Structure 1
Amino acid sequence: MNVHELNYAIWAIARELVHHHRYSLMDNDEGMLTLKRRDGIRVTYLYLMPLVYGQSAEQQEAEIREQFAHSMDWMKMVGFRRPALVHRMVHLYIRTDAGYQMSGEQIASLHLSSLTESHRIEAGLIDLVDNRAVLPQIVIPGAEFIQQFAARSEPVPYDETRLYEVIDVWHGEMLRAHQERVEPFEEAGRKRGAPLTFAFVAINVVVWLLMTYYGGSTNTATLIQFGAKYAPLIDEGEYWRLVTPMFLHIGGLHLWFNTVSLLSLGGRIERVLGSGTFFLLYMTAGIVGNLSSYWFSPSISAGASGAIFGLMGALLYLTVKEPDTWGEMMGFSIYSGLVMNVILGFVVPGIDNYAHFGGLVGGYLFMAARALLTKKEAAAS
């Protein structure tokens, strides 16, 4: 085995995937690198490792399958601590000499999966002898680069001593690249206080107490008096009723549920985005939710649910677009929480699903527009 060429290939591929395809370096174990990339509910692990050789094709396959079994145990253990709905792993073997038995296609056909397919392992081969890559069915972000790297026939550009010095530099670069991606999120997690979140909660409680005093928060006349969404009056020009319902609640249980939801979601979002952006997000989602309810539902409605679903929509956007931070810490919880709330919306009577879905879409589109504006400002500068 050409160890010099093997080490260069492993680290050069890893460096490209970390810098340009959003992988993170998880582990460096005696020349075998473990990379990870998260995309929403899916996490992909990539092993870059030497091809195992056996006395026969059967023995080689047995050794690869034994590695699969160890990897499956490890993946389930890690997945239990950091849940995701879908776990995928690729053993990407690197071949540097002709002493092997199985073809690349045979290696790529091997797989191991859990009964529910929530965990699956496949293999691929980077053949530096025949200069080609045979990749598995699992989609590997950066596959085009891997194919191009395998097709090269250039010698390693460093001698053995110099290569290890370069590898040390690359190792540090990859660790810093990951840290730069997660640092803003970690800093926000260490901060305390979310003034607007607590202010919204306080306003909701005070308004609910006033409604209770002046006729009851479940009383239709009181709801209309305090500004609930009521289509006939909006039709007459009372457009402020697209805003005020965010601060009204129908009954103590409604207030309690929305308060807990707002406190659990709002604090971290406000600390990361800043109070100004959080205010715009919350108000925009709430208004869009009330507009949706006004357009599609004739019923009187009130509540912060549309704005809170807007926070879920914002989190949904962030877990997809910034999976290294939001997806890692909140990806599973936001998806499961969203599914549970949608189910409750159809099962429990009296819930305004139009406001919920409108707020969800409003929050998602707000974050998408914010990202687009930030990108344009960065390009202009």
Structure 2
Amino acid sequence: MFFRTESFQQFVRTYPIVTTLVSIHLFLWVIIDLFQLNIGMQIYQWGAGVNLMIDNGEYWRLITPIVLHAGLMHALFNSFSLVLFGPALEQMLGKFKFIVAYFFAGIVGNLFTYVMDPTAFYPYVGASGAIYGLFGIYLFMTIFRKHLIDQANGQIILTIFIIGMIMSFLRTNINIYAHIFGFIGGFAIAPVVLRNARPFNIWSNRSVHQGGGVNFNPNRWKGNRWRNKQRLNKVVWVLLGALVLLGLFNRLF
């Protein structure tokens, strides 16, 4: 569910929303931090969350910080987290519900960041509120929709969430409100977006792209070449998972 076995091309075709969000993260980092283009700096200044400016009517700043990041590592670890934890929900919820849930959680996190200190003038950016919202949906499944998530994956979510929240309180320069209320936003919207959801099945979307329909047999490919490719994909995704865990420990969200 969280360890990817798709090739890069299969991933892009099967999870277009996650792919698009990650592409936006990295594109904005390139023009803001890597090339330091004037338009990039203008986008950052226009879109970063600043409570005092929100208080003065710039309400778009409740949304735009979700796709902006403060540096490469910030963008990478949030993107890795989205790549690991987003695909299953994109398939289970569908594209529209996934977008709604993701941005709803991010907006709730930013809204309560504003409510807690409306006159603050420091900027805040990052997708971590939205990503914690995904954890909220998964935790809701673990408690109330057990048929949608197995026990092992439920334990993975609970463990990572607990570690992340503990480190949020221990580290400085962390928008703790975005983490807490982003999670609460995801948990709150979960019963709505999970209506008619089906358990994650990695082969269901792949069968469509392979032209096999419901009769697609994931075991039809035999031989060393296919098995070696699958092993390589697993190694890549496990390494990405390790990087995300490292990010959680070092609070790079």
Report the TM-score, using the length of structure 1 for normalisation. Answer: 0.45
Task: List per-residue Cα deviations over 1:48-93 (Å, max 9, x = no partner).
Answer: xxxxxxxxxxxxxxxxxxxxxxxxxxxxxxxxxxxxxxxxxxxxxx
- Alignment match of 2:137 (pick from 310, 314, 321): 314
Question: Match of 1:354?
Answer: 177
Question: Match of 2:241?
Answer: none
Question: Match of 2:103?
Answer: 283
Question: Match of 2:29?
Answer: 208
- Return the offset for 1:325: 3.2
1:1-381 mapped onto 2 (5 Å cutoff):
193-212=14-33, 213-214=35-36, 225-297=45-117, 298=120, 299-370=122-193
- Return the offset for 1:358: 1.1
CA RMSD of aligned residues (A): 2.5
More helix by share: 2
**How many residues are paired up?**
183
More strand by share: 1
Contact 2:101 2:193 in 1 (8 A): no
Code of the residue aligned with 1:316 in structure 2: it is L
- Return the offset for 1:200: 0.3
Provide structure 1 residue ranges, at least 5 long, that are not aligned to the other structure: 1-184, 375-381
In the aligned structure 2, how far is the partner of 1:231 from the partner of 1:328? 40
Contact 1:214 1:222 in 2 (8 A): no
Runs of 4+ in 1 over 4 A off after TM superposition: 189-192, 221-224
- Return the offset for 1:368: 2.3
- Return the offset for 1:329: 4.2
Provide structure 2 residue ranges, at least 5 long, that are not aligned to the other structure: 197-253
In the aligned structure 2, how far is the partner of 1:211 from the partner of 1:243? 18
Contact 2:93 2:193 in 1 (8 A): no
Contact 2:135 2:161 in 1 (8 A): yes
> Aligned pair in 2 of structure 1 residues 329, 274: CA closer, same or farther (>3 Å)?
farther
In the aligned structure 2, how far is the partner of 1:205 from the partner of 1:300? 19
**Greater gyration radius:** 1
